Amino acid sequence: MPTKPTSDDSGTKTTCATVPAEVTEVMRESANGLEGDSDHGLSSMDKANFIRLWAAHKRRVYAYVLSLVPNWADADEVFQETNIRLWRDFSRFDGETDFGTWAISVAYYQVLTWRKRQSRNRLVFDDETINAIAEQHGNLLPVTDARFGALRDCFQELHDRQRELITRFYAPGTSVDELGRSIGKTRAAVYKALQRIRASLRNCIERRLKRDHLA
């Protein structure tokens, strides 16, 4: 499957020569799951619209889910269920409604559904905190995009090694111990280095947002 370099919505340039074979296999299985479940009368244009809208909003939805379910694996699960639910219900989506708002509300239900399935001791937050966090997303919405942009720019200003540490630390499945061993640092040192980098990024973001009168 030929591909060519393009940019994602963050402006981060990525270069992908081909889609790896194992990925196309997963794609086929996953898409079969979606398509096989129900095509629910979506036209090709509907599907294209869904992909476009989802691409534009998934970043915010993922951040939302992750804040309510602060565990990578669990958040991925809820995020996937949200994606599937949105896809299934897309024929009912009103074009006049903001897709992001709709997607966030569906994500919220999926979080609640997921919480119901969990034993109480697996839940990090109580209902009150969940509601407070969910509400805060709405309050921060006006600066969210600006913050994404500032973070992207600040990330580019990091030293190569700092950028690499962030990239490796946040890679799915990363073990902090293994990461530390591979770069000759203790686990504590990895965490400490990460905290320092993140603190400098926060300062950089604040400066940029203040400069743009958004902080």
In the window 181-210, what residues touch another protein (CB under 8 A)?
182, 191, 194-195, 198-199, 201-202, 206
- 5: contact with another protein by CB under 8 A: yes
Binds another protein (CB under 8 A): choice among 138, 188, 207, 211: 138
Across-strand partners of 2?
18
Going through 27-135 in order, the beta strands assigned E by DSSP cover none
Closest distance of CB 3 from another protein, Å: 5
User: 165, 194 in Cβ contact below 8 A?
Assistant: yes
- Give the angle subtended at the CA of 107 by the CAs of 149 and 48, to the nearest 5°: 70
Interface with another protein (CB under 8 A), residue from 147, 200, 204, 214: 147
Q: Are 60 and 144 in contact (CB under 8 A)?
A: yes
CB of 84 to another protein, least distance (A): 8
Task: Report, in Å, the least distance between residue 151 CB and another protein.
Answer: 5
Beta-ladder partners of 14: 6
Q: Residue from 131, 186, 211, 212 that binds another protein (CB under 8 A)?
A: 131
Contact yes or no for 32/78 (Cβ under 8 A): no
> For the purposes of burial, counting CB atoms within 10 Å of the CB of 125, is it exposed (0-12), middle (13-18) or buried (19 or more)?
middle
Residue 38 binds another protein (CB under 8 A): no
40 binds another protein (CB under 8 A): no
Strand partners for 6 = 14
CA dist., res. 15 & res. 21, Å (int):
17
Q: Is 211 in the site for another protein (CB under 8 A)?
A: no
Residues 6+ apart with CB under 8 A from 127: none
Of the candidates 111, 90, 110, the residue with the CA atom closest to the CA atom of residue 42: 90
Closer of 144 and 185 to another protein (Cβ): 144
Token pair recorded at residue 192: 């400490």
Q: How far is the CB of 2 from another protein (least distance, A)?
A: 8
Contact between 27 and another protein per CB under 8 A? yes
Over the window 75 to 94, marking each residue x when it contacts another protein by CB under 8 A and - when it does not, the resulting string is xxx-xx--x-----x-xxxx
Site for another protein in 157-176 (CB under 8 A): 160, 163-164, 166-176
Candidate residues 38, 105, 118, 186; the one interacting with another protein per rule CB under 8 A: 105
Pick from 37, 38, 98, 189 the residue near another protein by CB under 8 A. 98
Binding test (CB under 8 A) with another protein, winner from 133, 146, 204, 214 = 133
Structure tokens at 68: 């309510």
